[in-house]
């Protein structure tokens, strides 16, 4: 019996793949070209700039600690929101409006936390600015989707600014490593 079930599953899967392949073959080439162009635009948006070199300062450790604390606080907030959302989903109380409000709250919290950071170095402020631009973009995106649910943003709009955020993360990681190397050499 298990062999017959496996054979029927394989046959069903093969039939489905064949139908999908036939449908894709019949799809207009223009649509495929548009999808390829959209994918290329998304990849351009996700491409990050090279890590910048900044002069080391006596305040580097302070700013790295402040940015690390920001990341931890934002991660904690994100985990709290996810837990609350999951709890409400299980209870059947989760609504689209509540989800959008939580997203707004999360974005506003990120922006408020970023504004409150007291960074002393050029590199710290550079990273702060990149992250802030990302969260501002998320706020704009949420603002347009909440006012008109019928609006469907393409992938390029959904990832806009993400390259800057990724660059900020790379820059911070480079800075941490640079500082760790300096500390190791000093000892």
The model's confidence at residue 6, banded by pLDDT at 50, 70 and 90, is: very low
Helices marked H in 47-161 — which ranges?
Answer: 60-91, 96-116, 122-147, 155-158
- Can you tell me the mean pLDDT for 79-100? 92
Model pLDDT, residue 22: 53
Q: How many residues does the chain have?
A: 187
Comparing CA positions, the residue from 99, 107, 101 lying closest to residue 132 is: 107
- Can you tell me the mean pLDDT for 113-126? 97
Spatial distance between the Cα atoms of 180 and 136, rounded to a whole number of angstroms: 31
Q: Report yes or no: 151 and 128 within 8 Å, Cβ to Cβ.
A: no
SS3 content of the chain, % helix, strand, coil (to 5): 80, 0, 20
- 129-162 pLDDT, tens digit per residue, is 999 999 999 999 888 754 444 344 555 666 777 8
pTM for the predicted model, two decimal places: 0.72
- Can you tell me the mean pLDDT for 166-183? 90
Helices marked H in 47-59 — which ranges?
Answer: none
Model pLDDT, residue 120: 97
What three-state secondary structure class fits 26? helix
């Amino acid at each position: 019996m298990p062999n017959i079930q496996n054979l029927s599953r394989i046959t069903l899967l093969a039939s489905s793949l064949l139908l999908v392949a036939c449908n894709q073959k019949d799809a207009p080439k223009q649509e495929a070209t548009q999808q390829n162009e959209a994918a290329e635009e998304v990849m351009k948006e996700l491409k990050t700039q090279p890590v910048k070199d900044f002069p080391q300062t006596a305040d580097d450790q302070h700013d790295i600690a402040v940015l690390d604390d920001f990341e931890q606080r934002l991660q904690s907030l994100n985990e709290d929101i996810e837990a609350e959302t999951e709890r409400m989903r299980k209870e059947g109380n989760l609504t689209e409006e509540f989800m959008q409000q939580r997203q707004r709250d999360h974005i506003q919290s990120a922006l408020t936390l970023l504004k409150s950071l007291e960074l002393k170095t050029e590199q710290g402020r550079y990273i702060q600015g990149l992250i802030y631009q990302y969260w501002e973009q998320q706020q704009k995106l949420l603002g347009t989707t909440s006012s008109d649910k019928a609006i469907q943003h393409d992938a390029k709009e959904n990832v806009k600014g993400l390259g800057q955020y990724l660059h900020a993360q790379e820059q911070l990681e480079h800075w941490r490593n640079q500082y760790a190397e300096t500390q190791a050499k000093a000892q």
